[in-house]
Amino acid sequence: MQVNNVIIDGLQYINWDKKTFKKTRDSGINAVHVTIAYWENFSEVIDNINQWNQHFREFDDLIVHALTAEDILEAKRQNKVGIVFGFQNCSPIEDSIANIETLHKLGVRIMQLSYNNQSLLATGCYEDKDSGITRFGKQAIKEMNRVGMVIDMSHSAEQSTLEAIELSERPIAITHANPSFFHDALRNKSDKVLRALGDSGGILGFSMYPFHLKNGSNCTLDEFCQMIAKTVDILSIDQVALGSDLCENWDYSKLEWMRSGRWTFSADYGEGSAKNKEWPKQPSWFKSAEDIFNVADGLRKVGFKEVDVNKVMGGNWLKFFDCSFGPVR
How does the average pLDDT of the chain come out, rounded? 96
In whole angstroms, give the CA distance from residue 89 to residue 204: 18
User: In the predicted model, what is the mean pLDDT of residues 68-74?
Assistant: 98
C-alpha to C-alpha distance for 45 and 108, rounded to whole angstroms: 10
Alpha-carbon distance of 198 to 236, in angstroms, equals 7
Q: What is the pLDDT of residue 273?
A: 84
- pLDDT tens digits, 266-324: 888 888 888 888 889 999 999 999 999 999 999 999 999 999 999 999 999 999 999 99
- Cα–Cα distance for residue pair 221/211, rounded to 1 Å: 15
Report percent pLDDT > 70 for the chain: 99
H helices of the chain, in order, are 18-27, 42-58, 69-77, 98-105, 135-147, 158-167, 191-199, 221-232, 252-260, 292-301, 306-310, 316-324
**What's the confidence (pLDDT) of residue 288?**
95
Q: What H or E segment, with its residue span, contains residue 36?
A: strand 31-37
Strand partners, 130: none
Write the Ramachandran bin of 213: left for phi over 0, alpha for psi from -120 to 50, otherwise beta: beta
Length of the chain: 329
Q: Average pLDDT of 124-129?
A: 96
pLDDT digit string, tens, across residues 170-207 = 999 999 999 999 999 999 999 999 999 999 999 999 99
More confident residue, 83 or 274: 83
DSSP one-letter string for 78-93: TT-EEEEEEESSSGGG
Look at residue 269 in the predicted model and tell me its pLDDT.
Answer: 87
pLDDT of residue 268: 87
The whole-number pLDDT of residue 277 equals 85
Residue 67: pLDDT over 90:
yes
Percent of the chain predicted with pLDDT > 90? 91
Compute CA distances 63 → 46, 165, 270, 292, 300, whole Å: 20, 33, 32, 18, 30
* Residue 297: other Cβ atoms inside 10 A: 12
| Predicted local distance difference test score (pLDDT) of residue 258 | 86
Residue 122 has pLDDT above 60, yes or no: yes
pTM of the model: 0.96
Determine the 3-state secondary structure of 147 from DSSP. helix
Nearest-angstrom CA–CA distance, 59 and 86: 20
Instruction: Give mean pLDDT, residues 130-141.
Output: 98
Q: Is 213 helix (H, G, I), strand (E, B) or coil?
A: coil
Residues 6+ apart with CB under 8 A from 175: 10, 11, 33, 86, 110, 152, 154, 205, 243
Going from N- to C-terminal start, the domains of the chain cover: 8-107+170-324
Tell me how crowded residue 128 is: count the other CB atoms within 10 A of its CB. 6
Flag the least confident range among 67-81, 228-242, 265-279.
265-279
Average pLDDT over every residue of 11-30 = 97
DSSP 164-182: HHHH-SS--EE-S--BTTT
Write down the CATH number for the domain with range 8-107+170-324.
3.20.20.140
Q: Report the C-alpha gap between 32 and 176 in whole angstroms.
A: 12
Q: Does the structure show a pLDDT above 80 at 146?
A: yes
**231 in helix, strand or coil?**
helix
